[in-house]
Chain A
Amino acid sequence: MTATLVKEASPPAVNMADRRRRARRRGRIIALVFVLPALLLLGALVVYPVVFSVGRSFFDASGSRFVGGDNYTEMFRDPATLKAVRNSAIWVVVAPTLLTGLGLVLAVLVEKIRWATAFKLLLFMPMAVSFLAAGIIFRLAYDEDPDKGVLNAAVVGVHDAFEGTSSYPTARARDGRGLTKGADGSYRTTASASPGHTVGLGLVGVLPKDLPKDAKPAYAAAGQQAARDELRGVVYLDFTPGGGGKEGRVDRGESGLPEVKVEAARDGKTVASTTTAADGSFHFSGLDPGSYTVRLPASNFSPPYEGVSWLGPALVTPAIIGAYLWIWTGFAMVLIGAGLAALPRDALEAARMDGANEWQIFRRITVPLLAPVLTVVFVTLVINVMKVFDLVYIIAPGPVQEDATVLATQMWLVSFGGGNNQGLGSALGVLLLLLVVPAMVFNVRRFRRSQR
């Protein structure tokens, strides 16, 4: 380009050519002034570090000894680093796939509603939120205690709605006071009871918070006479507040235990079941004569369901990917939505005229036509997922860090976070770079094509 300019300029007048050359030199100097700050910064802080890291990755931890490719083989031998490689692989496969799928579905559905703009804004907004803030948001949401983490509160709520809650997880019977413990955690009367009897089933160890507010004293109910075909009884807290009561007997002031499931069994078979009233009383009526045992099934005493350990070693990576979805779904949806808006309307209309249903249109027309956009979204997400750092660093609790670690966090830990092995750290950095090289090539190619 410069050569042709010179040739054109030289023949006619030396004076003219001289002026042009001077102007060109001035132009070059100006151009240099314009690009110099950028080139200096890029050279010193981006290009030089890449070269340095590649070199450094062939030296040992302290940088004094050349070790060849040892750091790179170490990467796949050291269990912690290997874990990071594996987790990164999971991230790179799962997160972009879910995001592209979710983005596609939402982009198609959101077209059908009138409040589409509001919905898109809402889902896109997390892109403005830092990974740190998102990390804190989800650390809160994933909290294991159902009284803190909203997710476990929901899980426990759903579980208890279907399975029921046990009323007295800590209750037990005193030894030798008429109740025998079964292998499954249930209690049954040691002596048998017949219709016409009234039995007292005393329990202890009920925490004050577990005792319902509407519980009433059991004394009156314990004294009630049973009818001839009736088995009566009372489940009570065998403990007099302030002391003074006698073990194994219903004293005045001792509380009944409401909502306890009680079963009457005969020859090992349950024949009737009921639940205690506010004063702890229960009765089975219409029983055949004979001897029965009264049972308190184990479900009365089972420990409460605590929900899912989201941030435990097993689920921590899926949980963090969930937080990542919260941040990036809006991006995928908006980008795919833009592609959707650019689809040829007549192709869709023609299919509709031919009687294709929405699913067929989606499957046979929308998705194939959108393939290029979906690829761009997917590739973009892969590049970004590879570098995920803050979310893992913040959400995974200290003891679980090593189960959640990915390449970027591992690189940090190895280089600066106590590992202090800058050789291995550099190698991990280079690996990260190598993994995005395909994207680099893709960018350069696409750019050169666009210039032609």
Chain B
Amino acid sequence: MNALRRGLGNGLVQAFLVIVGLVWVTPLAGLFLSSMRSAQDTAEGGWWTVLTSPGQLSFDNYSALLGNAGMTRAFWNTVLISVPATVLVVVIAALAGYAFAWLEFPFRDTIFLVVVALLVVPVQIGLLPVAKLFGALGLFGTIPGVVLFHVAYGLPFAIFLLRNYFAEMPKEMLEAARMDGGGEWRIFTQLVLPVGRPAIASLAIFQFLWVWNDMLVALLFADSSSQPLTVELQSQIRQFGSNIDVLAPGAFLSLIVPVMVFFAFQRHFVQGVMAGSVK
């Protein structure tokens, strides 16, 4: 009796979770299938009609996308923004994180507390002042400007994460390295960075994702020649409905890279996002 009830309960749980899973898959499947249908098919019926007439599916929209100069440039802009912004954050934060953890300098702990406080500063508050500053420096509307902004707002979390990870290293290890006459630079590159690899990986994935997916910062700081995919797509949202054959493949192109990163680095990804969610 009890076993029966448990079996039945388990069946219900399974059924419920299958439904939840379907609810999660459906919107994404909708985007993907929509991205492979012609504008005419989209006007005539929903993407689910594919289930009965799969002949609608083709890669025509994607080849059209590759021939669309605005889209391809936007895609490369996204790469040109995300990669440097990730590398710079990792390098600068690793240096600073090591200094905050193991080097002596005045007001070290106070400054670090300020960095912790900066963790939650919303990006929005920086938009206007930095726009003015970049305008004066000639960085407004350029890729380096977008990158710098992302680096600055990625730093508090990056420093926080790496400093705490580096601080866990055994003191003896560092002292032994110093006894051997290693300079700080050598200790940093040969010892700290290798030991910190897991944290650096999580950080890099989180930061890459953050920048790749950003729209707000680029919306303000990038001009039409430096805008990433998100902004390019956003600029076409006004005609939503008539241009799903452009928007859907574009959106899919923009999401497939992070999703691949997600599946390739699941563990680091989850850790990075978990740690970074305090931002």
Contacts and interface: CB of A to CB of B under 8 A. Distances in A.
Contact of A380 (B118, B152, B213, B278): B278
A45 B28 contact: no
Nearest to B213: A130
Interface string B107-145: 010010111111111111111111001000000000000
Interface in B247-279: 247-248, 251-252, 254-255, 258-259, 261-263, 266, 269-270, 273-274, 277-279
Nearest to A144: B241
Interface residues of A, number: 94
B10 interface: yes
B124 A387 contact: yes
Interface in B1-28: 9-10, 13-14, 16-17, 20-21, 24-28
B255 A133 contact: yes
A143 B46 CA distance: 10
Interface stretch (B53-61, B64-72, B92-100): B92-100
Interface in A330-367: 331, 334-335, 358
Interface in B188-231: 188, 209, 212-216, 220, 230
A38 B116 contact: no
B140 to A, nearest CB: 12
A162 interface: no
B39 interface: no
B159 to A, nearest CB: 6
A41 B85 CA distance: 13
B24 A394 contact: no
A65 interface: no
Contacts of A34: 95-96, 98-99, 103, 184, 188
Contact of A28 (B31, B47, B105): B105
B27 to A, nearest CB: 5
B278 A387 contact: no
B112 to A, nearest CB: 9
A22 B124 CA distance: 45
Contacts of B27: 137-138, 140-141, 150, 326
A133 B229 CA distance: 10
Contact of B99 (A31, A150, A440): A31
A85 to B, nearest CB: 15
A44 interface: yes
B238 A35 contact: no
B17 A429 contact: no
Contacts of B237: 135-136, 139, 394
B155 interface: yes
Interface in A28-48: 28, 30-32, 34-35, 37-39, 41-42, 44-48
A115 to B, nearest CB: 8
B48 interface: yes
A184 to B, nearest CB: 33
B34 A140 contact: yes
A221 interface: no
B45 interface: yes
A148 B214 CA distance: 28
- Between B27, B209, B233, B269, the greatest number of chain A beta carbons within 10 A of the residue's beta carbon is seen for B27
For B118, B123, B255, B273, the residue with the greatest tally of chain A CB atoms inside 10 Å of its CB is B255
A93 interface: no
A153 interface: yes
Contacts of B118: 42, 46-47
9 contacts: A2-B104, A24-B104, A35-B95, A42-B155, A123-B21, A150-B30, A432-B122, A439-B120, A443-B117
Interface of A: 1-2, 24, 27-28, 30-32, 34-35, 37-39, 41-42, 44-50, 52-53, 56, 106, 109-110, 112-113, 119, 121-133, 135-141, 143, 146-150, 153, 326, 331, 334-335, 358, 380, 383-384, 386-387, 389-390, 393-394, 397-398, 408, 411-412, 415-416, 422, 425-426, 428-430, 432-433, 436, 439-440, 443-444, 447-448
Interface of B: 9-10, 13-14, 16-17, 20-21, 24-28, 30-31, 34, 42, 44-48, 92-93, 95-96, 98-100, 103-106, 108, 111, 113-130, 133, 148-149, 151-153, 155-156, 159, 184-185, 188, 209, 212-216, 220, 230, 233-234, 237-238, 240-241, 244, 247-248, 251-252, 254-255, 258-259, 261-263, 266, 269-270, 273-274, 277-279
